Amino acid sequence: MAADKKESRGARFFSYFEGRRTRKSTPTPHLMKELSAHKVDRPSWSRAFGPIAFTLVMVAIGVGCAVAGEPLLAAVFIACGLLPTIAVYVMAWRALPAVLGPQRNSGTEELGPYLGGGGDERVRQMSPGLMGQERDVMEWNRAEEAQRTYDWLQGLPVGFEDVEVTSDDGVRLAGHALACCPDSPRWVVFAHGYNDNWRAGLAFARRYAEAGCNLLLVDLRAHGASGGQWVGAGWLDRRDLVAWARWVVARAGSGARVMLAGISMGAAAAISACAEEDLPGEVRSCVADSAYTDFWNTAVNVVSTGSLGTQPMPAHPLVDLARLFLRMSKGGYDVAVACPVDAIVRTRVPVLLVQGADDKVVPSYMGAELAAAAPERAELVKVESAGHCCAVFADPERYWEAVDAFVERTL
């Protein structure tokens, strides 16, 4: 990237950055009022069987019509009862493996989904409500970090080492370790988000390394090179991160100082892992960027709003049926148990929460709710004009000011 291009583009946005601010706080009374007013969707098995109840009623009416000598009307009622129910059950059944089955993103982009050639498209996808100068700022900062990260990686005397561990339930997990600060006891275990791979962590790697941290970027289960039949929703992954923390301690020794970090689903997994009783004591803190309070409400939000670029549609009963089918499947589980907001109450380490104010995937109230659940442990940094997982590009100076201070204080 040419120096004159950097200067001209930097000058273009200087005045914009000059007036920008982010908020770093525990929830205010006003925010608590907002939280209390927010409607939370409670998972219920009954909704999964609602279509069956509808079908039974319609069929019963149809049978009654047939008995009364109205065969045509009977056929209409029976068809109207059967066809919609069959359609919605088939839709949910077919969608389950596509949505929660293995997400084998190959990660062929050298710099990953955020810093690679498709990074601008990813930023736009994650920030659908931002236009004009706000989006230009994120794209420019993304391109700047891509060039700096590339130069940094090229200049390192060491490269990433492919490593693996086995989870509690026998799943082989793949990771990529970079001992870029061999004289430092600090390690960051970084977990990516849904449908990503370990290279998503490259958007954060250089700055963590500048803070004296060695890196372990992992593929979550059912992602990248890791095994696993189903996406972990941050719940199954919590145990996997405990296994990775043990790997770091075995590699670096008992003097290691470990931080769990992640974005989106990886952030949810990091929070949940920090509540596990057998988490190694060497884990000192957690940075959770764009973490959700619970997977259920996030899924309902994404389906109903189409915030990940999909067609908006009624969330119920599709998500209820998907939950039921996953629970009934081999190796399946109940996604409704994935609740970082419950885990953060039990965490034994400080947690830095980063939330984009314009996040449409994980609504901003979720960051506030996580902070409110553990005010003595959790610290919230809310970044303006930032979409999902894009706070680091919306205002990198403020983002890393908060993260660097947290690293120095806790690690």
In a domain, 79, yes or no: no
In a domain, 53, yes or no: no
The answer, yes or no, to whether residue 160 has pLDDT greater than 70, is: yes
Q: What pLDDT is attached to residue 49?
A: 86
The pLDDT tens digits of the residues spanning 373-406 come to: 999 999 999 999 999 999 999 999 999 999 999 9
Q: How many domains does the chain have?
A: 1
In a domain, 355, yes or no: yes
Determine which of 5-9, 229-233, 315-319 has the lowest per-residue pLDDT on average: 5-9
Q: What pLDDT is attached to residue 110?
A: 86
Q: What is the CATH number of the domain that holds 236?
A: 3.40.50.1820
Average pLDDT over residues 348-368: 95
Cβ atoms of 145 and 206 within 8 Å: the answer is yes
User: CA–CA separation, 197 vs 189, rounded Å?
Assistant: 14
In a domain, 33, yes or no: yes
Q: Give the pLDDT band (50/70/90) at residue 308.
A: confident
Cβ atoms of 319 and 300 within 8 Å: the answer is yes
Q: Give the pLDDT band (50/70/90) at residue 355.
A: very high
Cβ atoms of 271 and 237 within 8 Å: the answer is no
Q: What pLDDT is attached to residue 309?
A: 74
Average pLDDT over residues 332-351: 96
Give 18 or 235, the one with higher predicted confidence.
235
User: CA–CA separation, 180 vs 184, rounded Å?
Assistant: 9
Q: What pLDDT is attached to residue 303?
A: 93
Q: What pLDDT is attached to residue 39?
A: 60
The pLDDT tens digits of the residues spanning 9-61 come to: 444 333 433 444 434 444 555 455 445 446 678 888 888 888 889 999 999 99
Domain span at residue 183 reads 3-37+113-294+338-410
In a domain, 169, yes or no: yes
User: CA–CA separation, 22 vs 31, rounded Å?
Assistant: 15
* 103 DSSP 8-state letter: B
Cβ atoms of 279 and 348 within 8 Å: the answer is yes
The answer, yes or no, to whether residue 212 has pLDDT greater than 70, is: yes
Determine which of 98-107, 140-149, 220-229, 248-257 has the lowest per-residue pLDDT on average: 98-107
User: CA–CA separation, 177 vs 164, rounded Å?
Assistant: 10
In a domain, 103, yes or no: no
Cβ atoms of 192 and 266 within 8 Å: the answer is yes
State the amino acid at position 53 in one-letter form: A
Rounded to the nearest integer, the mean pLDDT of the chain is: 90
In a domain, 303, yes or no: no
Q: What pLDDT is attached to residue 105?
A: 65
The answer, yes or no, to whether residue 280 has pLDDT greater than 50, is: yes
Average pLDDT over residues 239-261: 97
Average pLDDT over residues 296-311: 89
- Give me the residues paired with residue 191 across strands: 218, 262
Alpha helix ranges (H) inside 314-395: 318-328, 340-346, 364-373, 391-394
In a domain, 63, yes or no: no
Q: What is the pTM of this model?
A: 0.88
DSSP string, 210-244: HTT-EEEEEPPTTBTT---SS--TTTHHHHHHHHH
